[in-house]
Amino acid sequence: MSKALELPFDPIDRAAQIWSSRFGPSLSMAAVTSIMRAQQILQGELDSLLRPYHLTFARYEALVLLTFSRRGALPLRVIGERLMVHPTSVTNIIDRLERQQMVIRRPNPSDGRGRLAEITQAGRDVVARATVDLMAAEFGLGGFEDGQLKEVFDLFRELRLTAGDFIPRSPKSPEPQEPPESQGPQEPQEPQEPPEPQKLPSSPGPLEPCSPGARAARSR
């Protein structure tokens, strides 16, 4: 948890007043500066809660994502997409978790050059314990009511939508299917019985006309 500054004035509000007198409307500047400061505060508090588990919030998020997956393993590319971070950051996160024996890397069966990150039992145990602490602290937002939290989510959802984080779904459109997480070896299929051989029609009698199709059927 970051040390309280305890300034005798609100520095962002003061900056907004000066901005307004020098440059013009300051609401956008004050809002974005408040967001950036809130991010610093929350990051510090979350990292403080996770420090006993030797985790940062970024590494905690990666572990949680792996626990959400069906097999406990995901390609690094997918981890980067879901966490919305650069591939280099994903590599650094998985490197640290691997050194901590919370994940292992293994070959991706569906991609000869790709690698999967798979959570270990130690990683699952740490996630379970850390999540209890984060939930108890309400992720640093314990001073807000449910309605306020929903309002915050909705406001920033619009920002993320504008940035292209995701494609909005029409109310009538079907629920999108999740892409496969990792293509493991396919289960062998049971061999199917060969179809029964079809009986050819009996040869026509001596008085029956024999069509070209019937002659061809008899010759097979």
Q: Which of helix, strand or coil describes residue 170?
A: coil
Q: What is the pLDDT of residues 128-181, one digit of tens each?
A: 999 999 999 999 999 999 999 999 999 999 999 999 999 987 766 665 555 455
Q: What is the pTM of this model?
A: 0.74
Nearest to 94 by CA among 109, 76, 111: 76
Q: Determine the straight-line distance between the first and last CA of the chain, rounded to whole angstroms.
A: 85
Q: What is the pLDDT of residues 168-218, one digit of tens each?
A: 877 666 655 554 554 443 333 444 444 444 544 444 444 444 444 444 444
For residues 63 and 134, give the distance between their C-alpha atoms in angstroms, rounded to a whole number. 14
For residues 33 and 22, give the distance between their C-alpha atoms in angstroms, rounded to a whole number. 17
